[in-house]
Amino acid sequence: MALKALIFDFDGLMVDTEQSIFDAYCKIFAEHDAVLPLSTWEGIIGSTGHRDRIFADLEQQIGRAVDRDELRERARREHHGISSQLPAVDGVAAQIMDAQRLGLALGVASSSTVAWVHGHLRRLGLIHHFQSLCTREDVTEVKPDPEIYALAASRLGVEPREAVALEDSPNGIASAKAAGLFCVAIPNPLTANMSLDAADMLVPTLTALSLDDISVRLRD
């Protein structure tokens, strides 16, 4: 089967926004003499609804309720302030250029909001490269549900088996695989110690990824 499309995850894959939001919530936990375990965060990377899960964890640790809205807004402000200065991950531009060399359609499939994804891609001067940008507003269920990858492939006019997903988290990998895509895992510093074995291929960085090799593998 010929490779026809490349679909990027966004957070943690194109821009390392995962670390700043995790750090913001770790800071909030520390202020309450509690600890946010990485194992708790692992289950929510690449998905949504994490704030309710981690606030429940915090309240269980300290034995009382917290003002979730106030803490959520504090974390959001800190996260957005840091993320607005972050560059694209090393290798993103090179992979876009290589995909274009191969004539591949380009898409993004993210559980984040359209404003978040579009805003960063515009800031980085990358948005014009993509024929399709799918975000959580486009689907009823986000990752690990396969809906967003199925939609991304459909919008690019390809079958899921003709597309490759680039992912950095267990939830994202599960979504891509369930939709029928070939999935390459590229861990970020936060997900490097998580189990990414469900991916079809694991490479240490985007710069180590060879689309030519994947194209040959899909044809075999």
- The residues near 124 (Cβ < 8 Å, ≥ 6 apart) are 15, 87, 88
Q: Which of 9, 16, 57, 145 is catalytic?
A: 9
Indicate left, alpha or beta for 138 from its phi (over 0: left) and psi (-120 to 50: alpha): alpha
- In the residue annotation, 9 being an active-site residue is answered as yes
Q: Which of 11, 16, 145, 168 is catalytic?
A: 11
How many other C-beta atoms are found inside a 10 Å radius of the C-beta of residue 58? 22
Sign of CA dihedral 190, 19, 21, 114: negative
- In the residue annotation, 69 being an active-site residue is answered as no
- The residues near 26 (Cβ < 8 Å, ≥ 6 apart) are 35, 36
Q: Which residues are catalytic?
A: 9, 11
